Structure 1
């Protein structure tokens, strides 16, 4: 016969499996900039509502990659350029690349979605690893997302303070988080070659390689992510 502890462990494993089947999704996303008041874009960008979210992974189209690079430009001093090469030269010359975004968490059964708050940046996506040490990372403001850390579960809230209980939330079993974060890492690694391909297609030449290197550096894409799945 199984001991009481072994039986309890089996119950927990079945519970975690149920959550896996429910498909809790974690995705790296960027916020679509509002290009209305900016100089014309010098390459095609995806048609998306301003302030909506675009996930980054190995399935992104050239137009979505173009939107990502235009977002990098939007974070810099607005200037009119004559060619894509001049735009990318400004981007790679920046001291630090930043882009509004972060990680989006979705419960595909309930439909609950938690997105990054204002001023959150994709460049800080690795700070989610702090949750494994018992701390909620800063995830933006207005609304102000927060991770409520329990013994066996994490509840990711879209807002905090007086607005918390009225906000959406997604429950993530703690043992699933390492796998979810490693999945985000794989998605970003798969996205990077698409930037190289996009750069070749619009004729950036050597600037294309420099752009990929700058994105990899500032968004910590290919650096090892030493989080083992539990």
Structure 2
């Protein structure tokens, strides 16, 4: 399981160096990212969070883009959590309109809750004590999809999510400025 960010189109982006990744690609955030991947992730975050309700002026330099990102009350981060089960070769990716900023909601699965995983492809979650089943799509269907789901023991989720948190910490350690807003900072588990 890893935290992923859906990239924006950076073909015309020139405020800082970025990787030549296509838009709408899921980029895993981790301590193993290249500097250009970190630049792309920050460009995506800055793009999604650069429009403030009271300031419609265009952003013309890197300092202003980062300043607006750091002053954001709640950072919006397109993406979410991606799970891949290597033994059965199934991947569940976040759907459209899912946000990485809500990644902690996955911990609520241990209480029987179902987090929003987006739509199109509409990932599906099913509680089947002592496991949770995840399908890449079929969230809106009345019946379970015919393909094999990923099954995760509910008791393993907190540990798995700690590895996600560690990967996000690693990404932030690569960022030129880790002073992101409090809503995006990664607090310890309580």
User: TM-score, normalization: structure 2?
Assistant: 0.86
Is the Cα contact below 8 Å between 1:137 and 1:146 reproduced in 2? no
Is the Cα contact below 8 Å between 2:98 and 2:118 reproduced in 1? yes
Q: 2:165 aligned with 1:185, yes or no?
A: yes
Is the Cα contact below 8 Å between 1:114 and 1:157 reproduced in 2? yes
CA distance in 2, matches of 1:104, 1:176: 16
Moved more, 158-167 or 45-54: 158-167
Could you tell me which residue of structure 1 aligns to residue 188 of structure 2?
224
Could you tell me which residue of structure 1 aligns to residue 26 of structure 2?
53
Q: Secondary structure at the match of 1:110?
A: coil
Structure 1 or 2, whichever has the larger Rg, is 1
Is the Cα contact below 8 Å between 1:44 and 1:63 reproduced in 2? yes
Is the Cα contact below 8 Å between 2:74 and 2:184 reproduced in 1? no
Q: 2:81 aligned with 1:91, yes or no?
A: no
Q: Secondary structure at the match of 2:145?
A: helix
CA distance in 1, matches of 2:70, 2:163: 27
Q: By how many angstroms is 1:176 displaced?
A: 2.0
Could you tell me which residue of structure 1 aligns to residue 35 of structure 2?
62
Q: 2:86 aligned with 1:108, yes or no?
A: yes
How many residues end up aligned between the 2 structures? 183
CA distance in 1, matches of 2:146, 2:38: 35
CA distance in 2, matches of 1:166, 1:31: 28
Q: Secondary structure at the match of 1:218?
A: coil
CA distance in 2, matches of 1:130, 1:104: 17
Q: By how many angstroms is 1:89 displaced?
A: 1.4
Gaps of 5+ in 1: 1-25, 200-207
Is the Cα contact below 8 Å between 2:110 and 2:155 reproduced in 1? no
User: TM-score, normalization: structure 1?
Assistant: 0.72
Q: 1:87 to 1:170 in 2, by over 3 A?
A: same
Larger proportion of helix = 1
Q: By how many angstroms is 1:184 displaced?
A: 0.6
CA distance in 2, matches of 1:49, 1:111: 24
Q: 1:157 to 1:220 in 2, by over 3 A?
A: farther
Q: By how many angstroms is 1:149 displaced?
A: 0.8
CA distance in 1, matches of 2:146, 2:28: 26
